[in-house]
Structure 1
Amino acid sequence: MPILRPRQDVCAKRVLKALKVTSSTLAVAPTGAGKTFILSAVCSKLPGRHLILQHSDKLLEQNKATYELWNGTDTSIVNANCKDFTGQAVFAMVQTLSRDGTIEALDHFHFDVLVIDEGHHATAPTYKRIIEAVKAKNPNVKIFLVTATPMRGDGAGLGQVVDSVADVITLEDLIAAGNLVMPRTFIIDIGCQQELQDMPIVGIDYDMDRVAEIMNKDIHNERIVKEWQEHAGDRQTIVFCSTVQHAKDVCAAFQKEGIKAGVVHGSMTTTERDNTLNAFECRQLQVLVNVMVLTEGYDCQIVSCVVLLCPSSQHSTLLQMIGRGLRIVTPDKYPDESKEDCVILDFGTSCTNHGSLEQNVSLEDQRAFGSEGGDAPSKECPNCEAPNPLSVKVCSLCGQEFNPAAMQSASLSTFTMREVKLVKQSPYKWQSVNPRVLVSTSFNSWAMVIFHKDTWHAVGATANNTPVAYLAKGKRLAALSAANDFMCRYGSTADSGKRKSWLRKDATEKQLKALNDPLNFGMNRYEAACRLTLKFNKAAIGKLIN
């Protein structure tokens, strides 16, 4: 059974605690938090039959495979091609299960746990119909919602479905742990911002046809491409536009400059859309322009720039758009890639209006209140600690100049503290073998973080004579996070957790003889094991990182 990351483990425990005292609860977990790992771990502690609702066939298959790591393979699927309710855990497509002719099957099957992935959809009529049918058969069913964006665009509160919020994982939590990259945001006014600011909200969002009238002009599109070339010209990029014609014209502006760009929108066939997405993921396209097709359920790790060409009145939509670029890159998918941050180019008003990227969470209906808001992006003066707009170079209160070098120093200090926190929270001990190598080992796996050729590399292997795996490269924290995840998945705290007493015993004579180093006196058993792991695998590691 895999081991959760520290923050995932905290979330799972809080959900279980909440479900002991209430019948339903919500966990908020941003993109990259590992929602499926959390819900699978929670389900492993809840007895009885489970029904897990999904809204995407692709996600259904992925989540089912992850769930089986914790809970075994007694699972079944309900979708357009298969309607099997016999599994101990049933993964069901909402679109299929809510239909007449299928939902009646719930009259004959008892479920003890109902899990709703992308739980912000739970107040929609299709979901509510399923919830009511499950509760009719078992009024005591436990309901668990997990979502990255709990505040719905229509203002409908999730309090209609759940009684409590068990936990809120923040983007800062995930960035601090190295599970997401840092967003670098540039707010660029090409002469449209005042008009966009003055636009009224129609229904739950802006009138996108009117947005297109303001933004979709040749002079603006040419400027957008120029700014992109300056700030992110070498990055895989997703662009969000207001209308299909806007997207086509922006795509044409990129292509005019010789940039390989494509468009995806809701009017395309599934085959056309999949072919375009595959071309982007294979780097045959560098820029992917879309009209709100990629806000949810699309994950491509190599995206390192997001361009916003449409304002959003909803904070949750902004998070979904920016979240497309925050995932870290894993070498098993992209062995030659590294990613340290994501550039956000906002040519509209979303970042200005909403400010903070963190979620405000309320289970109450918001339809009677104003739109969601946030503080505008700011930074703190190092002299008087007054908040200042992100773009200023001189403090508006005391006149202190912002020193880029000093700000970098503060950033590095924070970075180091985050790394220390990650090591402290890990269930495994990380041993510094030398200033360039950190090692963690257990009886059935090991992992290392190595600085080589100006970057950090994470490698690991299981003890079954399997080849050394290349896990990540980039900043030290990102590499350490990937290596720690590997240990959590394949290691065993039962024999090698950091609190085990054998780790602190003196090294054995056999270990010292194998090390053959006269300076290795006073070494404990665990440090010796780590040094031997490096010695025995040095050649294989060298082939991977050179």
Structure 2
Amino acid sequence: MIRAKVGGAMSGDAPSLRPYQREAVEAVLSARRAGTRRMLVCLPTGAGKTVVFAHLARLAKRPVLVIAHREELLSQARSKLQHALGAEAVVAIEQGGRRAEAEARVVVCSIRSLRTERLARLLAGRDVGLVIYDECHHAAAEDNLRVLRELGCFEPGWTGTLVGFTATTARGDGKGLDEVFEEIVYARTLPEMIHDGYLVPLRGYRVATSADLTRLTSRGNDFREEELAEAVDIEERNALVARSIQELARDRRTIAFCVTVAHAQHLRRSLQALGVRAGTVHGEMPSDDRARVLRDFAEGRLQALTNVAVLTEGFDDPGVSCVAMARPTRSEGMYAQCVGRGTRLSPGKKDCLVLDFVDVSELSLCSLPSLFGMPRELDLEGREVGEAERFFEQLAFDHPAFEVEAGAITLGEIQARAEAFDPLTQEVDVEVRAISRNAWASLGRHGLALHFERAPGRLSEALVVSRGARGRRWEVSLDGRAVERFSAIEEAVQAVDFEVHRMGRAAEASARAEASWRRAAAPKGRAEAVAGVRRGGRAATALGDVLALEAWVKVTTGAKRAGPVKRGR
């Protein structure tokens, strides 16, 4: 268990904690006091996860086991733990031919090395009280679960603590970490860390390619790698990626993420053909060769590195200032990990450039804008993400009814469309016009609205609103009460039209565009309340237009209708 308080005296020259790191440590201690034994801490790449678990190791009263996946992670973790614990503490590595000393207080080990016999020998005479699992999004894999079971983490009487650290809770195979961990006790996102100044700002370019991903199938929540490699590892695309890196990241140290080893090698050759000093690292390389290439990159002899998965975890080079996403992905977790490799602070480093290479696809591929909640097709044109966020905040204030349409678009194009936007000019789909004579008003992608008189002077509102992506998605509501759902919008329109017809000829006539009540003057207060949603803040005066604008505001912003409107008031 972890018994010491965070604020207690600490010996040695340990690195000080940033505020969020202190919060993470306190969250772990609080959760353990509350009875949670297997907990998760989510911190983005570059946030200093190793510093946090090094402090947890200092607080532990019993031996500590640190689990990692890659050889590079073992050495980094041992170095930072030794610094945090002081020279007197024994921090050992258990991996391959290396064996941890019996007196080691902290053992950093490769989970792949922990076969049953080796783990039993390691635990002999050690009453491990704290297990720290770095990059623990791999934990749900069956062999990794075996190690955790043999450590006793799932035993009812286990008195230890398992703390997992990761930048993402998502696994590529879709298997959830809730099988391993009881609770996420602390989490910070990449956008939060950038906003708070702990990571450098991001700026980006969108580069369109002709590679076609429309026929690819999925495995888990991402593409099948063999199919993806066949689609994107083509000479024309590799040349485009290399040329983009050469032109847009000329003075930046760049890492490019690829699909397969062959893809990484082909892209490296394309870069070298343009005179870019490039190398390749991948998991199949001998460790000495991989270390040599990484050293050449860190010391400036190489400007660009192409890689396959190796640099998504544990790579710690603050000098990287460009990330080239030559590997398209649907996984936000993988995308965030890749981008995070360029966000670490470093002297003289102002920002990190992200190059999104966008292929032809009907699927939702991750992009830098989508990571921050903006339209995934947005082209930042080299602007900082923060500038784009401020743009959208101002856009929502200036044009509250405007919605960005799907498709590749720039901030300038969005601004021009927003300034020209008027909800009253939105056209109803031709299919709806073909089946209905009534004055349906378009609510954009959200649906339709129809206003009519249920009785003389008593107006009613029928809405057909999308409530999902498939199935019976079109919900019909009458005067705020949900009535029925339909698979097709045309079916919903016909159902409303039939209901209006049943109410009688007067109601049916009032639903037409030529009904006189639509041109009656709207109450001044209501007209002014929705004036801001039109181009230039022009107020609508006709009652029919005001009701249509109110319906637009209701479905796009969730605002409630201001109250009943009676004709002639």
Q: Place the TM-score, normalised by the shorter chain, in its bin.
A: 0.5 to 0.7
State the number of aligned residues.
381
Task: Measure the CA separation in 2 of the matches of 1:57 and 1:143.
Answer: 21
Which of 110, 115, 123 is the matching residue for 2:132? 115
Corresponding residue number in structure 2 for 1:346? 356
SS in 1 for 2:246: helix
Give the partner amino acid of 1:187.
R
Taking structure 1 as reference, are residues 325 and 352 closer, same or farther at Cα in structure 2, changes over 3 Å only?
farther
User: Which stretch of the first structure deviates more once superposed, 232-241 or 79-88?
Assistant: 79-88
Give the partner amino acid of 1:141.
G
Is the CA contact 2:39–2:185 (under 8 Å) kept in the aligned structure 1?
yes
Is the CA contact 1:23–1:143 (under 8 Å) kept in the aligned structure 2?
yes
SS in 2 for 1:47: coil
Which of 89, 99, 106 is the matching residue for 1:74? 89
Q: Are 2:232 and 1:215 aligned?
A: yes
SS in 2 for 1:348: strand
Spell out, residue by residue over 1:209-242, the C-alpha distance to the aligned partner (whole angstroms, 9 max, x if none): 4333333333333333332233222211111222
Aligned pairs for 1:155-194 (under 5 A) are 155-192=174-211
Q: Are 2:163 and 1:153 aligned?
A: no
Q: Are 2:267 and 1:250 aligned?
A: yes
Which of 78, 91, 96 is the matching residue for 1:64? 78
Task: Measure the CA separation in 1 of the matches of 2:59 and 2:46.
Answer: 23
Is the CA contact 1:196–1:311 (under 8 Å) kept in the aligned structure 2?
no
Taking structure 1 as reference, are residues 5 and 342 closer, same or farther at Cα in structure 2, changes over 3 Å only?
same
Is the CA contact 2:64–2:129 (under 8 Å) kept in the aligned structure 1?
yes
Task: Measure the CA separation in 1 of the matches of 2:374 and 2:306.
Answer: 27
Task: Measure the CA separation in 1 of the matches of 2:290 and 2:71.
Answer: 16
CA-CA distance at 1:396 after TM superposition:
6.9
User: Which stretch of the first structure deviates more once superposed, 202-211 or 220-229?
Assistant: 202-211
CA-CA distance at 1:104 after TM superposition:
4.5
Give the partner amino acid of 1:213.
E
Task: Measure the CA separation in 2 of the matches of 1:215 and 1:38.
Answer: 39
Which of 119, 129, 132 is the matching residue for 2:149? 132
Give the partner amino acid of 1:154.
D
Corresponding residue number in structure 2 for 1:9? 22
Which of the pair has more CA radius of gyration?
2
Is the CA contact 1:310–1:348 (under 8 Å) kept in the aligned structure 2?
no
Taking structure 1 as reference, are residues 152 and 209 closer, same or farther at Cα in structure 2, changes over 3 Å only?
closer
CA-CA distance at 1:355 after TM superposition:
4.8
Spell out, residue by residue over 1:487-524, the C-alpha distance to the aligned partner (whole angstroms, 9 max, x if none): xxxxxxxxxxxxxxxxxxxxxxxxxxxxxxxxxxxxxx
Corresponding residue number in structure 2 for 1:306? 323
CA-CA distance at 1:50 after TM superposition:
2.1
Aligned pairs for 1:413-492 (under 5 A) are none
Taking structure 1 as reference, are residues 56 and 225 closer, same or farther at Cα in structure 2, changes over 3 Å only?
closer
Give the partner amino acid of 2:77.
N
Is the CA contact 1:153–1:204 (under 8 Å) kept in the aligned structure 2?
yes
Taking structure 1 as reference, are residues 20 and 302 closer, same or farther at Cα in structure 2, changes over 3 Å only?
same
SS in 2 for 1:400: helix
Task: Measure the CA separation in 1 of the matches of 2:82 and 2:291.
Answer: 27
SS in 1 for 2:107: strand
Taking structure 1 as reference, are residues 155 and 357 closer, same or farther at Cα in structure 2, changes over 3 Å only?
farther
Q: Are 2:51 and 1:32 aligned?
A: no
Task: Measure the CA separation in 2 of the matches of 1:35 and 1:103.
Answer: 28
RMSD of equivalent CA atoms = 3.1
Task: Measure the CA separation in 2 of the matches of 1:245 and 1:30.
Answer: 29
CA-CA distance at 1:35 after TM superposition:
0.5
Q: Are 2:311 and 1:294 aligned?
A: yes
Task: Measure the CA separation in 1 of the matches of 2:70 and 2:221.
Answer: 24
Task: Measure the CA separation in 1 of the matches of 2:185 and 2:113.
Answer: 29
Taking structure 1 as reference, are residues 383 and 3 closer, same or farther at Cα in structure 2, changes over 3 Å only?
same
SS in 2 for 1:347: strand
CA-CA distance at 1:398 after TM superposition:
6.1
Higher relative contact order (CA 8 A, sep 6+): 1
SS in 1 for 2:418: coil
> Structure 2: any 5+ residue segments left out of the alignment?
1-13, 379-387, 421-569
CA-CA distance at 1:17 after TM superposition:
1.0
Task: Measure the CA separation in 2 of the matches of 1:55 and 1:248.
Answer: 24
Taking structure 1 as reference, are residues 191 and 357 closer, same or farther at Cα in structure 2, changes over 3 Å only?
closer
Taking structure 1 as reference, are residues 399 and 92 closer, same or farther at Cα in structure 2, changes over 3 Å only?
closer
* TM-score under structure 1 length normalisation: 0.63
Task: Measure the CA separation in 2 of the matches of 1:158 and 1:208.
Answer: 23
SS in 2 for 1:165: strand
User: Which stretch of the first structure deviates more once superposed, 258-267 or 154-163?
Assistant: 258-267
Task: Measure the CA separation in 2 of the matches of 1:358 and 1:107.
Answer: 49
SS in 1 for 2:209: coil
CA-CA distance at 1:124 after TM superposition:
2.6
Give the partner amino acid of 1:176.
H
> Structure 1: any 5+ residue segments left out of the alignment?
331-337, 361-372, 402-546
Is the CA contact 1:29–1:170 (under 8 Å) kept in the aligned structure 2?
yes
CA-CA distance at 1:138 after TM superposition:
6.1
Give the partner amino acid of 1:170.
T
Is the CA contact 2:203–2:354 (under 8 Å) kept in the aligned structure 1?
yes
Task: Measure the CA separation in 2 of the matches of 1:202 and 1:128.
Answer: 21
SS in 2 for 1:354: coil
CA-CA distance at 1:301 after TM superposition:
1.8
User: Which stretch of the first structure deviates more once superposed, 128-137 or 1-10?
Assistant: 128-137
Corresponding residue number in structure 2 for 1:144? 163
Spell out, residue by residue over 1:191-221, the C-alpha distance to the aligned partner (whole angstroms, 9 max, x if none): 22xx224422145532334333333333333
SS in 2 for 1:294: helix
Corresponding residue number in structure 2 for 1:266? 283
Task: Measure the CA separation in 2 of the matches of 1:357 and 1:393.
Answer: 15
CA-CA distance at 1:28 after TM superposition:
0.1
Task: Measure the CA separation in 1 of the matches of 2:100 and 2:132.
Answer: 18
Taking structure 1 as reference, are residues 3 and 203 closer, same or farther at Cα in structure 2, changes over 3 Å only?
closer
Give the partner amino acid of 1:53.
I
Task: Measure the CA separation in 1 of the matches of 2:132 and 2:50.
Answer: 11
Task: Measure the CA separation in 2 of the matches of 1:57 and 1:222.
Answer: 32
Is the CA contact 2:72–2:315 (under 8 Å) kept in the aligned structure 1?
no
Corresponding residue number in structure 2 for 1:98? 115
CA-CA distance at 1:383 after TM superposition:
2.0
